[in-house]
Structures are given as C-alpha cells and as structure tokens.
Amino acid sequence: MKRSGGPPGHAHGGASAAILDEAMGLVVWAAGHKVAAVNIEINYHKPLPLHQPLTLEARITQTDERKIFSTGEIRLADSTIAVSGRGIYVAAPQLFEQVTLGKSKKG
C-alpha cells in the first residue's frame, strides 16, 4: 500500500487541517470579507480514510467589528464527524488590494 503521510490507508492530519482552513475561510470570503486567518483550531475525532466519500461543511458563526468566526466539519460517509475546526479571521484588505470578490464581467 502506498503511504499517504498519515496512518496506513488514511490521510495526513495536516491535509485535513488545510481543507478545513480553506473551507472556513471560503465562507467568510464568499460573504464579501477580505480576511486572513489569525487562529485555527483543529480537532481530530476519527482518521480520514483514503478513497472514501467525505462531506465538508463550513459556516460563519459570529462577526464583530474586526473579527469573523467560522466553524467547519469533515464528515465520513455515515455522517460521523471525523475532523472539526474553528477559525478566527480578521479584516486584512491591504493584503488583497489586487483581488476582487464576486463574478468577473466578461467584455
């Protein structure tokens, strides 16, 4: 069996952390906020098997003047939560001056 970097037959924990970071940040970006992560917490409940269907969910849970909080889960095929996380994102428009949010107009 080919090694994945994680336990035999399972994904590396860093891969699931990266997936959750992307998903939790994406929901914040999709809401129109140009942000950067300042804190990510990942909780591993079950190993993620390779070559199996998974479900990913993320949502914004709280916003305040400068911070936006989001959570996410990676679920196994039977809906069991395998990995959960939460992130704190802060407004950082100066980092993304060349990035536009939304659909681009074709001319």
Domains of the chain: 13-94 (3.10.129.10)
Is a pLDDT exceeding 90 seen at residue 92? Answer: no
User: Which has the higher per-residue pLDDT, 92 or 68?
Assistant: 68
**Contact in structure between 7 and 14 (CB atoms under 8 Å):** no
pLDDT tier at 1, thresholds 50, 70, 90? very low
As a whole number of angstroms, the longest Cα–Cα distance in the chain is 50
| pLDDT score recorded for residue 97 | 75
User: In this predicted model, what pLDDT tens digit does every residue of 10-49 receive, in sequence order?
Assistant: 999 999 999 999 999 999 999 988 889 999 999 999 999 9
pLDDT tier at 70, thresholds 50, 70, 90? very high
